[in-house]
Structure 1
C-alpha cells in the first residue's frame, strides 16, 4: 500500500511576494520612531511615537531648527549661527500662550500671535486671548487689530511677522492657525488681496467653472466644478491682475521660507483639557461676551461669528439650541479642530514636545538666557 503523504500547507499570505525581510536582515527603523527626538536632548514626548512617520512616507522636517530652503538642499547654517525666530505651534488648548509668556520672561522678544481669531476686538474669552494684564506686560502683534466685520488676511499676518523681524532682534510667533504657519515655512505666491465688489460679481455667475476654463485652463483642470470657493478665488485673481492664477503660482512664492526654530506643543490629556478650559471660560463670562457681540449687531453674516467658538452659543441666544447642547457642540468641534491641527503638524514632520521642550527650543534660537 502506498504511503499517504501529509497535506501540503498553504503558504502564508504575503510570503511568496517577499514582504518579510530575509533572515538576518533588520527592518530599517524610521528616524525618531522610538528614539530621542532630533534636536531635543530631553527625549521624545509620549506623542512622538504616534507622529514619527508622516503620511506618504515622507521624511519629516527636524523638530529643531527648520528652514524649508534647507530641505531643498541649500545646506546648513554656519556653526554657531543663532536663529532669531521661534515658532511655537500646536493644537488648541495645549498651553502655547503660557509657553510663549515664559519665553518672554527669559529673553527680550517680540511676540506675534498666529491665531486667526485673536485679531478681533471683543472676542477675548472665546478665543482664549491673553488677559489685559498679560497683554500690557507682554504685548502681542496681531491681537485686537480688527473689528469682527473687518478682514484680516494671511498676507496681513506675514507682513506683521516681517515688520517684527525688521525692528526686533528676537521674534516669537505663537499660535495654531495652520494656514498662517504654513505661509511662513511654505510661502504663498504673490496673489492680490480679496476685493469684495469683484467677488460679489463673480458669485453671481451661473457657471463660474466654465468662465475659469476660458481664462485659466490649468486652474480649471485642477479644481472640481463644485469647489466653488477656490474657483471664485481663481477668477478673482485673474480679474484683479489680468493673469491666470496658475501662472502666478508658477513664478514661485513672494518671499523665501523663514529660517526658524520650531516647538510643536502637544499633550496626551488634550481632550479633558479642552473640556476643562470650556468650563473655565463659562465661569469667566463666555456667554455674556457672545451676547454683547450679538447686541452690537454681529451675527452669522460675519465670518468670525460662524467660528466654532461663537456659532453654537450664538444659536443658543437665538433660541435654536439649549445651553447644554450648545456647549456640547462647542467642545466637540474644538476637539475636532485639535485633531486636524495634530494631523497638519504630523504632515509637516514636526515632533510634539512639552513646555520644557519649548524652552530648549528658545535657547537654541536665542542663545542661553
Structure 2
C-alpha cells in the first residue's frame, strides 16, 4: 500500500473530464525510445496531448518522466520514434528552434535583474520593440499578480513569488507548449497548495498547453486534465485523474496512486476468488484472467457488524486526520491490515471484532505486478 495519502478526486473538480473532442492534438509522440547504455529510460512510449490541455507526467523516480520531458524540449535525442508539435517534426530540431519553453525546477532567475527585467529578457533577445515588450510584460505580471513587485530583485521575493516570476518569464514569449519540471518542489506545503490552484488558473487564462513532470500524486491529481502514469520507461495508463484513481489499468497504477487494499487470487465470475475467504466481489478491468489482484479504496470499504460482511477481523489502529478516521483492521491470512476510511471521528475501539464489506462496482480486479 502506498505511504502517500491522496484524497479521492471528485468528479466535478479539475481534471474530471476528458478534453473535449473539439481539441486538436498538439503533441503526438509515437514509439519513442531512449537508452543509456544498458538502461532503457524510455521504452516505446506513445502519447497524444491536446491543445490547451494541462497534462501531467507522473511516476516514481527513475520511471522516465524527466527523460521524456527533456526529449520533447530537445535536450535528449531519442534512439527511435517520432515527436510532432503542431504537426512539425521535432526530432533533430535544436532546442532553441522549438516553439516551446521549459521552466526549470530551480527557476534560474537572474539575481541582479528586477522582476520586470527577468520577464522581459526573452523578448529582448527576440529584438521586439520596447513598447511591445513593455505591454506584454505588464500584461503577464498582472496575470500572475506581480505588478506591485515589478521593481524588486529575486532575493526580495518569497518562494511563491519567485515561482510566479519564472512562470511569467516562460509564458510571456507565448509558446505553443510550456514544459514544467517539478515546478512546485521548492515550495513549502501551504504555498505549494496555493500555487497548484494558481498554475491551473494561469494555464486556463493564457491558453497554453502545459506539460508538468511530478512525482507528487496530489499535485498531478489536483491540476491535470489528464495524466500519464509511467514506470520502468513505459506508459502504464493515460486517463483523467478520476478515472486513474477509480479504474486503475493495472496493479502498479492501483498501488502507486493513493492508498488501496489489495487481495491476491484468481479471476472468477463476479470478482476474485481468494483461497482463505472465497469470492470477493469486484469488476474486472481489461482482459484479465488467471492470477490477479482485487483493489478497493479505503473510502469504499465499510465497517459492519461482525459476521455480516465479506471479511472478519479485529481493529488494530484508528487515526483521525482532516475530518476522516482511518481504521486499520487485521484480517486472518492477510499480510497487511485492511484500511477503512470513516467520515468524522470513529467510535470503534481497538480490539473490536468487526466485518468489512464493499459494493462490487467499487472494487476492481487488475493484472500486472508492482
TM-score, scaled to structure 1: 0.24
Larger strand fraction of residues: 2
Higher relative contact order (CA 8 A, sep 6+): 1
Rg (Cα) greater in structure: 1
